[in-house]
Copies of this chain bind each other. A is one copy, B any other.
């Protein structure tokens, strides 16, 4: 698969794919007549890169991780360790994001209610929060 197609499939631009290669993320792309060919395995790797990147792993560390793979069996413990760390980190991110979603949901409720009833009918923030909890059953705490 040529670079343009790999780009289309992964959502990265061709330039970014070359950039990643330069950065040592995918150092062993197969070539035909000097041109990159992306295998299904390469695409899987890129999807993993995307996953790690979007869960907050810097390219530096992704490179470190990917460099462990060709070492096979004996790098399994390190790879496991890295994935466990990332798993833990993602768990925290999920908790945090859920709390933020709650915060924003409260704001939406607040503005909807204020539009219906008028802003000056709303009382102070604590009264609003309490009412929000009563009416929605949500446990928002800010």
Q: Write the residues of chain A forming the contact surface with B, with a CB cutoff of 8 angstroms.
A: 44, 47-48, 51, 54-55, 72-73, 76-77, 79-80, 83-84, 86-87, 90-91, 93-94, 96-98, 100-101, 103-105, 107-108, 111-112, 114-115, 118-120, 125, 142
Contacts and interface: CB of A to CB of B under 8 A. Distances in A.
Contacts of A72: 119
Copies in the complex: 2
Given A80-B115, A111-B80, A55 B104 contact: yes
B125 A104 contact: no
B100 A97 contact: no
A79 to B, nearest CB: 5
Nearest to A98: B94
